[in-house]
Amino acid sequence: MYKTLQYYKLGAILLALFLALPIFGIFAELFYILFQNFNTSNLTQFSSIKENLSHFFDYLFLKFIKDTFIISVGVLCLSLILGVSSAYLIANYDFYFCKILEKLLILPLAIPAYILAFVYVGIMDFQGFFHENFGFRMDFFNHYGVIFVLAISLYPYIYLFAKTAFKSEAKEAYEVAKIMKYSEFRIFTRVALLSARPAIFSGALLVLMETLSDYGASAYLGVDTFSAGIFKLWYDLNDSYSSSVLSGILMLFVFLIMYVDYYYKNKHHYSFNQNLALFIKKRKLNPIKQILSCIYCFMIAFVGFILP
């Protein structure tokens, strides 16, 4: 048994090292650039590298930072709204077509974000279906277009984490809230959200890292995020050194996100006894609220999966 565990550990370490090869390559390129600074025999080549890096930091770096920040915050906020709200409705209420919608809300993960970008540009431009039939069009070649496309593609991460957390919440907390005459909205904000916070936080970090790594949708819609900038510098401007610097900075952001996740989970300790807890039962809504909840969840699934 002990030897088997050792083999599993060795296999996990080897797999981790293999998956980390691109990261090692990025930092190897950065160390190469620093080495050129001290190598007088390659002074001419390093002068060219230094000139490219100077141009990059003077004219491009702040734009990449600004665009990436706007996209990340926008996608995170919209994904949280869509994922948490739909997860709470599915986990806590019984309404029309609830079981079908529970599955449909996961399916946007099956469509890559860049495919969604192609589809929405195609149906919303001047020659698209909506403009030709209804005279309605939307411009997706901006920050708002990228935020919309990435959010409807990535919100299922938060939805899955939040739905599991909401379904696992103890019945006693809701009974106490009812005794204190909390409204449904107050139960959601004061009880459900607080207990599901660790799961929602984990889903939000996944969305954030997926947003930082996106290239296809951002590049197609003309927004210079970090990932789009890496390819633009490397292939369009033939500047592999600046792209390596940008990749290294992006990796530092990812490491920072991982550290925040590690720090948060170690600072906040949560315990849960699944054997002793009485899980909440879905509450029946009146017909009007059932229709509204059904329409809301269906529209999210429609925009994220059915329409594309």
Q: Is the pLDDT of residue 192 over 60?
A: yes
Quote the Cα angle for 90-94-96, to 5°.
95
The type of residue at 53 is L
pLDDT bucket at 91, cuts 50 / 70 / 90 = confident
Q: Is the pLDDT of residue 12 over 90?
A: no
Q: Is the pLDDT of residue 37 over 60?
A: no
Could you read off the pLDDT of 122-162 as tens digits, one per residue?
888 777 677 777 777 788 888 999 999 999 999 999 999 99
CB atoms within 10 A of CB 297: 25
| Dihedral sign from CA coordinates of 80, 84, 85, 86 | positive
Q: Is the pLDDT of residue 30 over 90?
A: no
Mean pLDDT of the chain: 80
pLDDT bucket at 276, cuts 50 / 70 / 90 = very low
In this prediction, residues 222-247 reach a mean pLDDT of 78
How far apart CA 194 and CA 167 sit, in angstroms, is 14
In this prediction, residues 222-235 reach a mean pLDDT of 81
| Dihedral sign from CA coordinates of 240, 244, 250, 254 | positive
Residue spans per domain, the chain: 61-306
- Residue predicted with more confidence, 214 or 234: 214
Q: Is the pLDDT of residue 103 over 50?
A: yes
Architecture of domain 61-306: Orthogonal Bundle (1.10)
Lowest-pLDDT range of 74-83, 148-157, 190-199:
190-199
pLDDT bucket at 275, cuts 50 / 70 / 90 = very low
- 128 and 308 in contact (C-beta within 8 Å)? no
Please tell me the predicted confidence (pLDDT) of residue 42. 53
Q: Is the pLDDT of residue 263 over 80?
A: no
| Secondary structure (DSSP) of the chain | -HHHHHHHHHHHHHHHHHHTHHHHHHHHHHHHHHHHHH-GGGHHHHHHHHHHHHHIIIIIHHHHHHHHHHHHHHHHHHHHHHHHHHHHHHHHEE-TTHHHHHHHTTGGGGS-HHHHHHHHHHHHSTTSHHHHHHS-----SSHHHHHHHHHHHHHHHHHHHHHHHHHTSBHHHHHHHHHTT--HHHHIIIIIHHHHHHHHHHHHHHHHHHHHH--HHHHHTT---HHHHHHIIIIIS--HHHHHHHHHHHHHHHHHHHHHHHHHHHHS-----TTT--BPPPEEPPHHHHHHHHHHHHHHHIIIII--
Q: Is the pLDDT of residue 5 over 70?
A: no
